[in-house]
Amino acid sequence: MSSAPEKPRNRLAWLALFLAVLLAAIALGRRPDGVERGDLAQFLGRFHSLLVHLPIALLAIVPLLEIGGSFRRWGHLRASAGFVLWLAAFGGLLAAFDGWLLARSGGYQGGLVSRHMWCGVGLAGLTVVAAAARSRIVRRGRAAEGEGGPGGTGLRGLPSLACFYFLYGPLLIAAVALMAWTGHLGGDITHGDGYLTELMPGRLRSLLHMAAPPPKAPPPAPTPGPATVYAARIVPLLQRSCISCHNPKKSKAGLRMDSYDLLMRGSQDGPVIIRWDPARSELVRRITLPPSDDDAMPSNGRNRFSPAEVKLFEQWIAAGASSAQPLSTLP
């Protein structure tokens, strides 16, 4: 027969599981499609980068509490691990929902965005399952030992102790590992592909059996034939400041800039370059906005274009934005 204090805990677990399933259903039914939606949804979604740090920190603390609490001297630490894990679970649900809101309303799409979103949803669900499993194991252990047993930990009975380490333990380890991978994908979205591993020491890379990063492309060398403005001057600027957000894995607003044809096709809202008319070209407007403007590009505030680089874009567009314009025609 369940005691009165167990009923609120059971309701908490069922509520968290319901929210995890609801979140997965929402993400499945309303996937990011590259279409920008209401300002309010985007405003709320942009808090994702703030909200996500709380559950990450809480989840990272839980293994330390569990390991420290396994020693008699610090046994009191384990009593708080369940509470911290539940905070991480509900914080993860909120952060994952806000991340979906940002991706859905902010005009994001692409395989990298989808993988990050589903890893976030999966991490929230896995954390909920781990917290629910821990609560159930602890309750059974306490019931078997007469409500707490020696030391009040509720984990000294052999059945509950075995479940604690062989059921809950792997769930917690999997959650922490998935958290690391989800954070890696988030770093790739924000800072570009391979941001977290780009400067990894060679010995650690070999230990983890990770391939060496591709060498950075050298600056274009002079060619014997006539070089073009697009290939020699425009492409390096796009690679430095734009393509990290507009590529096959992540195409903000449906805009890709990794090839000339895709750049000229534009975004879901239409062309970003109007040939012979830089004043009407959305690309020029965006790169000349102040950094504080929400529409300013690059959106991360890094690698902004200098006045000379902006002028180069304007000259290229005013001349027709051709991929074949000879470099020698620039003034």
Tell whether 221 is covered by a domain.
no
What's the domain count of the chain?
2
- Tokens describing residue 43: 């405003």
In a domain, 130, yes or no: yes
- Within a domain: residue 274? yes
Residue 223: inside a domain: no
pLDDT of residue 141: 72
Judgement on whether residues 47 and 117 belong to the same structural domain of the protein: yes
Comparing CA positions, the residue from 271, 250, 239 lying closest to residue 111 is: 250
154 and 234 fall within a common domain? no
Per-residue buried b or exposed e for 109-119, using 16+ beta carbons within 10 Å of the residue's own CB: bbebbbbbbbb
Amino acid at 122: G
User: Domain range for residue 234?
Assistant: 229-329
234 and 285 fall within a common domain = yes
Q: Which of 161, 191, 221 is the endpoint of a domain?
A: 191
Q: Are residues 257 and 154 in the same domain?
A: no
Q: Same domain, yes or no, for 28 and 149?
A: yes
Residues 305, 255 share a domain: yes
Angstrom CA distances, 163 to 85, 137, 140, 147, 159, stand at: 17, 7, 10, 18, 6
Q: From first to last of its 331 residues, what are the pLDDT tens digits of the chain?
A: 445 555 666 788 899 999 999 999 999 999 888 777 878 888 888 889 889 999 999 999 999 998 888 888 887 888 899 999 999 999 999 999 999 998 888 878 778 888 999 999 999 999 999 999 998 888 777 766 655 444 444 455 444 566 677 788 899 999 999 999 998 888 777 766 666 666 778 777 777 777 766 665 554 444 444 588 999 999 999 988 888 778 777 777 778 888 898 889 888 778 899 999 989 999 999 889 887 777 788 876 667 888 898 999 999 999 999 989 898 887 7
112 and 247 belong to one structural domain: no
Rounded-to-integer distance, Cα 269 and Cα 18, Å: 37
Residue 219 lies in a domain: no
Say whether both 187 and 237 belong to one domain: no
Instruction: Indicate whether 180 and 236 sit together in one domain.
Output: no
Residue 170 is assigned to a structural domain of this protein:
yes
- Give the domain CATH number at 58: 1.20.1420
Name beta bridge partners: 228: 326
Domain identity same for 146 and 262? no
Domain boundary among 191, 218, 248: 191
Q: Is residue 187, in this structure, part of any structural domain at all?
A: yes
Residue 207 falls within a domain, yes or no?
Answer: no
Res 314: pLDDT: 92
Residues 174 and 99 in one domain: yes
